Copies of this chain bind each other. A is one copy, B any other.
C-alpha cells in the first residue's frame, strides 16, 4: 500500500542507496538527481518506514520520558516538564515515549533493552530514585532533570535551587528586612524525598543565618484553613515578619495572598513577597509577584541535548546547574522603619 524506497528509486530512475543518501544527506547528490528524487517522494507521498529505519540504522529517533506522576504530585508543574521535554525532543527530530508510574523501572528496562528508544529523560527525580540506579546500570544515553543523592556516573540538569534560595534571601536582606519567612510545600512533599524542596529550604535557612536574618518556616496543607494557619504562624504574634518567600504550588500562593489581604497586610508596603522556583505565571496574581522562575523548557532542552549528544558520541558525567534569575514585578520594597 504505502510507497517504499524502492518505489521512489524506480520513479526517480536511481538506486535505492542514492535515495537513502539523498534523504540523510550523508553524501553529496547531483542536482538533477536530487530534483528527480524530490519530486518522486512528493508524488508518492513517501515516508520512510520507521521499523526498517530502526533496524538498519540502529536508531529509532524516540526518547523515553519517565514521569512517575505519583499521588500527591503537583500535576501542572510536572506536566509542564513532560511537555517541555516533548517539545525539545521534536526540535531534534525525536519523538517521545511516555513512561508512567508502575513502569518506572520495568518499563525503562523494557524499552531500552528492546531498543525501542535511543535514550531516556528522567523527570521528577527523588533523592533516592531507583530510576537513577537503573539508568546507571543500563548504561544507556540518559539525562536526569533533578539531582539524586548519588550522581556518580550520571548526567544531571537542574535549576540551581540553592542559588535561587540565596538570591531570594539577598533580595530581602538587602532591602533591610530582618525577619523573613519561607512558605514551602505541604509536609508530605518533604517526607517523600523530593530533593529540590529540601535543597531550597536548607540553602534558605543557611544563607539567612549568614545574613543575620531571623527565619520562620511554614509547610501549609493546600486547604484554605491550612494556609491561613501557616501564614498566621509565620507572621508571628506581633506580625513582625516583613519578608516572605513562597516555594510552593500556585494554589497555595494564591491563597496566601488572599489571606494577607484579608489580614489587612499590603504587598509590598507591609510585606515583601517573592515567588521562588515557580513554573507558573505570577504576573496575573493580585498583586503580581516578583519571581525567580523555574523554566521547564530550559532544563528539558538541555537534558534532551545532552542525551542526544550521548547517542551520537560521548558525554562526561556531570551535574549542570542552571543559574537562577530574578524578575522584578514590584512585590518587594525596602523595609519601612
Contact = CB atoms under 8 A, between A and B. Distances in A.
Interface of A: 2, 45, 47-55, 60, 62, 65, 69, 75-76, 79-80, 82-83, 86-87, 90, 95-98, 100, 102-103, 107, 110-111, 113-116, 223-225, 251, 254, 258, 286
Given A82-B98, A86-B100, A100-B83, A54 B62 contact: no
Central interface residue in A62, A86, A225, by most chain B CB within 10 Å: A86
Contacts of A47: 110, 113-114
Contacts of A76: 75-76
Contacts of A75: 75-76, 79-80
A95 B97 contact: yes
A196 to B, nearest CB: 20
Query: How would you classify the secondary structure of chain A's contact residues: helix, strand, loop or mixed?
Result: helix
Contacts of A96: 97-98
A336 to B, nearest CB: 27
A115 B51 contact: yes
Nearest to A51: B54
Given A75-B76, A90-B102, 9 more contacts: A2-B113, A47-B110, A47-B113, A48-B114, A69-B83, A75-B79, A86-B98, A97-B98, A224-B258
A50 to B, nearest CB: 4
Contacts of A224: 254, 258
Contact of A50 (B2, B52, B60, B69): B60
A223 B286 contact: yes
Contacts of A65: 98
Nearest to A255: B224
21 contacts: A2-B113, A45-B113, A47-B110, A49-B114, A49-B115, A50-B54, A50-B115, A51-B51, A55-B55, A62-B97, A62-B116, A75-B80, A79-B79, A83-B100, A86-B98, A90-B103, A90-B107, A95-B97, A96-B97, A97-B98, A225-B286
A23 to B, nearest CB: 12
A55 B51 contact: yes
Contact of A115 (B2, B113, B114, B223): B2
Central interface residue in A79, A80, A96, A254, by most chain B CB within 10 Å: A79
A53 to B, nearest CB: 8
